[in-house]
Amino acid sequence: MPATKAKPAGKRSAKPAPASSKAIAAPKSYKPLDQERIKELLKRLNAAYPDPKCALTHRNAWELTVATILSAQCTDVRVNMVTPELFAKYPTPADLARIEPEMIEPDIRTTGFFRNKSKSIVGAARKVMSDFKGKVPDTMEELLTLPGVARKTANVVLGSWFGKAVGVVVDTHVYRLSRRLELTKSDSPVNIEQDLMKVIPQEKWIDFSHQLIWHGRKICFARKPDCAECPLENLCHAADKTWSTVPIHKTAKP
């Protein structure tokens, strides 16, 4: 009988089979919030994304505030397509404070929820002019007084423009990845932020959120994450992994 010809090795032939859909119990010694595990996560994120930046195009704190308001339920790519023309027409808060919200609706329509966003942007411009002498404030308390600005937007502005690590940005990527990585069990962005602030060193808060956002865009997708190419793979036990070298934990869900 002739010898069977071996099949040529593929790109990932040496790796184990994809993770089973059946969850495997976590080892008793496993502690997802162990400081050594956190340090290793941060080390690998730093190596993969050494100089993370906000993906929203902006030239000043006001433009970043507007862009972040527009980014709700919208991709950064789309926002970056809209803002150049918007800022060309209305370069400053003073320019937007003088108009009615309906006037910018056509300019931001493609970002979705454009009526609410137009009201928030014009309202924020008026507040900046009336209460802050035309300058975007640099404290969490003051930023939260601006229409359309909640903690996520405030954290983006404080971290990316003012360099202040007051909190952790929790967008859809950070929400999903922090749950997959078992850094939180909460399903509330406010509580997720508090959980992350407890385990991530404050000096890493700004970069950490940007790194998770970039990782979510490039590898850890909402559907079918590319686990075989993930630098965090053997530190992750997520229930929806597409490929795994470690046990799967049924509670690690996005």
Instruction: Enumerate the active-site residues.
Output: 152, 171
Spatial neighbors of 128 by CB under 8 A, at least 6 apart, are 62, 93, 97, 134, 135, 136, 137, 146
One-character DSSP codes across 11-74? TTTTSPPPPPSS--PPPTT--TT-HHHHHHHHHHHHHHSSS---SS--SSHHHHHHHHHHTTTS
Give the span between the Cα atoms of 163 and 155, in whole angstroms: 10
Place of tokens 């595990």: 37
